[in-house]
């Protein structure tokens, strides 16, 4: 059996940067608190907790004094930084540069459009960690849409500026953009909305690469944390391309019956899945292959 690890898999830049910053602080002996899970991957999270990192929520943040807090790649709203300043907290800011740039753009367009009653619309998932930081740039006045039925929240007689959470599906964004433009023209002929494609190219660019990788395999094993939005999106691409795709959280989830007639197996994962975990899964498949003499 041939086992191939996807050469394009592994941490995206933002997640990798956050983990490096956490490790640097922990290796220096510093006690750090991480505001929310640094990565949507239980094994990697447990590894960092074992090194001394403690995960906290916003309620705990308000109670902390004179401590060091890491802000993960998803970013945070301005209110978090205000709490940190008032509580004399040292911030290790690991906000992904792409997310930070998007926050700045939303902040600028929202505040410059207040007089004209411009509506800032964000295509994203309500409750997602990144969305809290993005909406916070508008004092939480942004209109969040995740599907076409949410467009009823928009007043199409007023100016509209559309942005997207960085991890959203580009095809879905295109559909939402088209529908917003259509309704805007109907409500106000001659007037078009401003649409900004702010989806991360590193994430969206993996889609065609994943399709190509999955196409030539008998079986594909996708490794991701269960609460990873990016993992759910990328796995669906794999499953649609290759029906013999299976999602696992780790090597212990791999099942021997998946490989009974397989000669070429691929292993890939979410942008929150470390390469070491992909290697663990590949080794487990090798063990199964040897025991079954495949």
Exposed, middle or buried by CB within 10 Å (0-12, 13-18, 19+), for 97? exposed
The DSSP call for residue 137 is T
Helix (H, G, I), strand (E, B) or coil at 34: strand
Would you say the C-alpha torsion 26, 32, 38, 42 has a positive or negative sign? Answer: positive
User: For residues 189-204, b (16+ Cβ closer than 10 Å) or e, as one string?
Assistant: eeeebebeebbbeebb
Residue 78: which H helix or E strand, with range? helix 78-86
Contacts of 237 (CB under 8 A, 6+ apart): 207, 210, 211, 214
The yes-or-no answer on residue 130 being catalytic is yes
- Among the listed residues 23, 130, 148, 192, the single catalytic one is 130
For residues 8 and 27, the answer to whether their CB atoms sit within 8 Å is no
Q: Please choose, from the candidates 9, 3, 62, the residue with its C-alpha nearest in 3D space to the C-alpha of residue 33.
A: 62
Q: Give φ, ψ of 21 to 5 degrees.
A: -65, -40
Strand partners, 223: 248, 269
SS3 209: helix
Residue 87 CA from chain centroid, whole number? 29
Residue pair 22/32 in contact by the 8 Å Cβ criterion: yes
Q: How many CB atoms lie within 10 A of CB 41?
A: 28
Catalytic residues: 130
């Amino acid at each position: 059996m041939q086992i191939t690890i996807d050469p394009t898999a592994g941490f995206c830049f933002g997640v990798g940067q956050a983990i490096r910053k956490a490790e640097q602080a922990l290796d220096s002996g510093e006690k750090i608190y991480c505001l929310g899970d640094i990565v949507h991957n239980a094994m990697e999270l447990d590894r960092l907790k074992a090194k001394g990192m403690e995960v906290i929520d916003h309620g705990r943040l308000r109670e902390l004094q004179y401590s060091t807090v890491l802000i993960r790649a998803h970013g945070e709203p301005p209110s978090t930084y205000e709490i940190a300043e008032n509580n004399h907290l040292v911030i290790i800011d690991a906000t992904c540069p792409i997310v930070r740039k998007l926050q700045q753009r939303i902040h600028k367009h929202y505040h410059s459009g207040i007089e004209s009653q411009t509506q800032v619309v964000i295509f994203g998932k309500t409750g997602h960690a990144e969305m809290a930081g993005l909406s916070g740039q508008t004092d939480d006045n942004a209109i969040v849409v995740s599907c076409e039925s949410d467009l009823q929240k928009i007043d199409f007689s007023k100016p509209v500026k559309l942005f997207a959470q960085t991890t959203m599906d580009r095809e879905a964004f295109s559909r939402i953009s088209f529908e917003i433009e259509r309704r805007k023209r109907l409500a106000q002929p001659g007037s078009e909305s401003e649409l900004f494609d702010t989806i991360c190219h590193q994430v969206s660019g993996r889609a065609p690469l994943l399709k190509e990788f999955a196409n030539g395999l008998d079986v594909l094993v996708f490794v991701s944390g269960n609460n990873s939005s990016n993992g759910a999106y990328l796995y669906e691409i794999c499953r649609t391309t290759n029906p013999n795709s299976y999602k696992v959280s780790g090597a212990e989830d791999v099942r021997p019956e998946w490989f009974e007639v397989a000669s070429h197996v691929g292993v890939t994962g979410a942008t929150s899945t470390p390469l070491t975990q992909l290697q663990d899964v590949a080794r487990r498949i090798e063990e199964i292959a040897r025991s079954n003499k495949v």
